[in-house]
Each structure stands twice: as structure tokens, then as C-alpha cells.
Amino acid sequence: MLILARRINESIMIGDQVEISIVDIKGDQVKLGINAPRTVKVYRQEVYRAIQEENVAAAKAAPDKLPSLDGLLPGSTGRPPAR
């Protein structure tokens, strides 16, 4: 782990496109500003972990427990399209 000391309005760069700035410090709370391309997903760690747990649970779900999508589209017969 890299540990850096920064003051308000100072930044660090991650690669060429992600900039993390110290916006404010109050007591034991630090506010960060993150400037990254829209293609880079940025999550708080607890949110990221929850997403990962949901993805694992979804991958383990039995297909027979999922609702049928048959008949939801107009003209759908529930059969695969003919080739």
C-alpha cells in the first residue's frame, strides 16, 4: 500500500486519467474529489462489496427460480426464432 500525505487542494494521479483531490478536511473526515473518465466506475468500498455479493448470488441462482420471459414481447411464442 502506498501512503501519501496531501493537503487541501492537492491531488494525486492514478495513471494518466484519474485525479484524486483533497477537497476538505474536518476532524477525522476527508472529502475527496475524483476526476475520472465516465468509463471508469468509482464506488465506495462498501457499495462495491455489496455489488460483488449480489453478482455472486445472481450467478448461483437456479434458472428455474427465475421468472419466465415467454410472451412478454408482442408476437412472442416462447420458441426460439427459426433460422
Side-by-side strand order, sheet with 29-35: 11-14, 18-26, 29-35
In this prediction, residue 26 carries a pLDDT of: 96
In this prediction, residue 29 carries a pLDDT of: 96
Distance, in Å, from the CA atom of 12 to the CA atom of 21, rounded to the nearest integer, reads 7
Per-residue pLDDT of the chain (83 residues; tens, 9 = 90+): 999 999 999 999 999 999 999 999 999 999 999 999 999 999 999 999 999 999 998 888 777 766 777 777 777 665 666 66
In this prediction, residue 59 carries a pLDDT of: 85
